Amino acid sequence: MQLSYLISFLACTTRLSIAYPHGLENRAGNQPSNDAVTRAVDNFARDADTVSAALNNLPTLTDKNEISTTARRAFDAESDEDNQRSVLAAAAGGAGDRSNSLIMRFTPAVLDGLDAIARAGTIDAILQNLPAVERARNPNILPSITQLSNAALDALGINNKQAKNFPPTTGTSKLAQIGGNGGNGGNNNNNNNNDGGRDNNNNDGGRDNNNNNDGGRNNNNDNRNGRN
């Protein structure tokens, strides 16, 4: 009789731990302290900024060692994010379930892509993996970090701190620009060979640069996305 009761109790507890992991953590007295949550918010933001900087920078790199080092730095920061996520999820409880789930769902894709780039250290690896990394991270992970952080702060009544908003990274658009400037063969002759064979059209001398002042500035608008 007692054995049967014990088995039923363990089975019920297992089902509850799967369905409501954070609720059980909190009821067990494992809710993080205010200081722990504040540190986790700051560390999460630091890690996210490290990854974003790497993703924005990778398309500009050509040296194998530099590519590998940059991607590995981002991989390590992305891995460390999970330590911060677990603290914030425990503090936020049900209010953070959706954002926590999105982070957990899409982080493996980011880690896989960064690991592939770090191992290969090639431009081809960047071309093959960076777009998928940003598709997973920009719309899902970045806003969820902000939401989960704020949910944890609110749950503990920490009113003097607000989580950071993270702009989407623009590595993929940089790859497209690099490909457009150097990977389309004859299509680029008009842009790169202004002095060859077209002298009759260049009567304005040094004024050609005015036409290019808008090039490369589109990212400024993209970097504002995701900010409140």
The secondary structure of 18-45 as a DSSP string is HH-HHHHHHHTT-PPPHHHHHHHHHHHH
Q: How far apart are CA 36 and CA 39, in angstroms?
A: 5
Q: For the chain, report the end-to-end CA distance as a whole number of angstroms.
A: 59
Unique residue bearing structure tokens 């007295």: 29
Q: How far apart are CA 76 and CA 50, in angstroms?
A: 9
pLDDT at position 149, please? 99
**Domains of the chain by residue range:** 30-182+218-228
pLDDT digits (tens, 9 = 90+) for 165-222: 999 999 999 998 877 665 443 344 444 444 443 444 444 444 444 444 444 444 444 4
Q: Count Cβ atoms within 10 A of the Cβ of residue 201 and give its class: 0-12 exposed, 13-18 middle, 19 or more buried.
A: exposed
Check: CB of residue 126 under 8 Å from CB of residue 84.
Answer: no
Confidence of residue 158 (pLDDT cuts 50, 70, 90): very high
Q: How far apart are CA 162 and CA 4, in angstroms?
A: 50
pLDDT digits (tens, 9 = 90+) for 48-104: 999 999 999 999 999 999 999 999 999 999 999 999 999 999 999 999 999 999 999
Percent of the chain with pLDDT over 90: 63
Closest CA to 58 of 141, 134, 144, 142: 134
pLDDT digits (tens, 9 = 90+) for 111-148: 999 999 999 999 999 999 999 999 999 999 999 999 99
Q: Which CATH class is domain 30-182+218-228?
A: mainly alpha
